[in-house]
Structure 1
Amino acid sequence: MTVGTQTAAMRLDSVTKTYGEGDNAVTALRGISLEVPRGTFTAVMGPSGSGKSTFLHCIAGLDQPTTGRVFLGDTELSGLKEAQLTAVRRERIGYVFQAYNLMSALTVRQNITLVARLADMAVDEAWLRELLTRVGMSEYVDRRPGQLSGGQQQRVAIARALATRPDALLADEPTGALDTRTSQEVLKLFRQVVDEIGQTVLMVTHDPVAASYADTVLFLADGQLAGRLYKPSPAEVAEHMTHLGDW
């Protein structure tokens, strides 16, 4: 299924990414074309070496494709200069990683507002209060990361990613360091920001249970799109993963 470009939050047109040259060349992505609709939760899965990380780096503007084009909304990232790319990544894309990447010397509030302050943007206090409420961290605004659990730190990282009201939130194995119960809380939070405020979320994961929270699961194998499932169960995701070796 494709959607019109007017409703696409992100789009890849025939994206290929090759590292190295000649006999040492390694092709990580092979002609991928797809669209991610606005206001949806998309999971990306695939075996090790399938191109998941390269896919995420290209769609985030962290890496340039060898051929093809990458769009964030109507903005072609693959055509921007580095200074322009930096501004887009800072203001229009939110990032959540397996490692929370919080600043240990800063409070919860300071961590969440860090990106806005670095960009010399005014902090929207009403939005900040709503974010703190949504992630369940209103009582902890003056604490530092070392005083928080892993799940609480990831909630702060999610609030930080949402602070600039980004076009897209990109998550790389966001539950990889969390226990099962805390992982479910984080995934429910992603689901809520998609359903309640129309946030676009794209998540790379190895976990079929995490992927089952998404509207769509995209599968990569050998740098190519190897199928997709809509609102699947964890069992359906796991079953599809077992057949990716056939690619």
Structure 2
Amino acid sequence: MAMTYAVRLESVGKVYGSGRTAVHALNDVTMALPRGSFTAVMGPSGSGKSTFLHCASGLDRSTSGRVWLGETELSRLKEEELTVLRRERVGFVFQAYNLLDALTAEQNVSLPFRLADRPVPIERVRAALKAVGLADQYDRHPAQLSGGQRQRIAIARALIHEPDAVFADEPTGALDSRTGRQILELLRRLVDDLGQTVLMVTHDPVAASYADKVVFLADGRLAGELRAPSPERVADRMTRLGEW
């Protein structure tokens, strides 16, 4: 059976500014993420990790090259179409959770439907909360929950539309090591059990070891990859990239 891809980038470049002050954040990046895969992106500070995630997910437009989500080429979309695509076909998980304190867990998870002015499928929302281990916390507000529980709500919200891919930017950065490990195990299960596609930016070799593959960036360019990564092999590669 032919391999299908959730995300593809072809010769993608991103430049901020112009002339002498231009900053080339990404240079000629080509990559494809198979459906049902878990990919980590690592690199020294300023290597272009977040820019890569933003361009791959449609949060930002690349300056050159092409990006596909499934069979949809993002550069061909108008801004309004891109907004709908991000809301309905992309899941986002950030370090800061990005939850609304005035809403319950259930209301935060259902927010994409509310923003689209569509009926909220409560059973689907409850199922998403159950999938992240929070079935009994649906009526709690973020302030009543731990950091790990808040991140689980954010993951449930990211999954609610069964997206083409989930993009996670330092999802364990604000958590202690034990809680962070639980979140990483959850992301791993989403891939193994639900066939979800996850792309995670991280600076942590332990976090990266949960992925199928680690892709390294340096100075906005691809600088190799590591399959079946261990924390030690990831740390060694990062050392050679000049991170530590």
TM-score range, shorter chain: over 0.9
Q: Letter of the 2:52 partner, please give it.
A: F
Check if 1:160 corresponds to 2:143: no
Check if 1:209 corresponds to 2:206: yes
Q: Please, which runs of 5 or more residues in structure 2 have no aligned partner?
A: none
**Count of paired positions:** 243
Rounded Cα–Cα distance in structure 2 between residues aligned with 1:95 and 1:158: 8
Check if 1:172 corresponds to 2:169: yes
Rounded Cα–Cα distance in structure 2 between residues aligned with 1:148 and 1:176: 17
Rounded Cα–Cα distance in structure 1 between residues aligned with 2:159 and 2:119: 15
Q: Deviations over 1:64-92 (max 9, x none)?
A: 11110011011001121100000000000
Rounded Cα–Cα distance in structure 2 between residues aligned with 1:175 and 1:187: 8
Q: Letter of the 2:83 partner, please give it.
A: T
What is the match of residue 188 of structure 1? 185
What is the match of residue 63 of structure 2? 66
* Moved >6 Å (runs of 4+): none
Check if 1:225 corresponds to 2:226: no
TM-score by length of 2: 0.96
What is the match of residue 84 of structure 1? 81
Rounded Cα–Cα distance in structure 2 between residues aligned with 1:122 and 1:244: 49
Rounded Cα–Cα distance in structure 1 between residues aligned with 2:234 and 2:4: 26
Q: Deviations over 1:15-35 (max 9, x none)?
A: 011111111111010100110
Q: Deviations over 1:3-26 (max 9, x none)?
A: 96x611000000011111111111
Q: Deviations over 1:26-62 (max 9, x none)?
A: 1010100110110111100000000001101100111
Deviation at 1:150, TM superposition (A): 0.5
Supply the RMSD in Å over aligned alpha carbons: 1.4
Rounded Cα–Cα distance in structure 2 between residues aligned with 1:61 and 1:134: 26
Rounded Cα–Cα distance in structure 2 between residues aligned with 1:125 and 1:26: 46
Q: SS of the residue aligned with 2:242?
A: helix
TM-score by length of 1: 0.95
Rounded Cα–Cα distance in structure 1 between residues aligned with 2:78 and 2:24: 24
Please list, as runs of the form range in 1=range in 2, the aligned pairs for 1:12-91 lying within 5 A after superposition: 12-91=9-88
Q: Letter of the 2:151 partner, please give it.
A: Q
Does the 8 A contact of 1:116 with 1:164 survive in 2? no
Q: SS of the residue aligned with 1:245?
A: coil
Q: Deviations over 1:75-110 (max 9, x none)?
A: 001121100000000000010000011110000100
Q: SS of the residue aligned with 1:43?
A: strand
What is the match of residue 134 of structure 1? 131
Rounded Cα–Cα distance in structure 1 between residues aligned with 2:149 and 2:79: 33
Rounded Cα–Cα distance in structure 1 between residues aligned with 2:126 and 2:15: 44
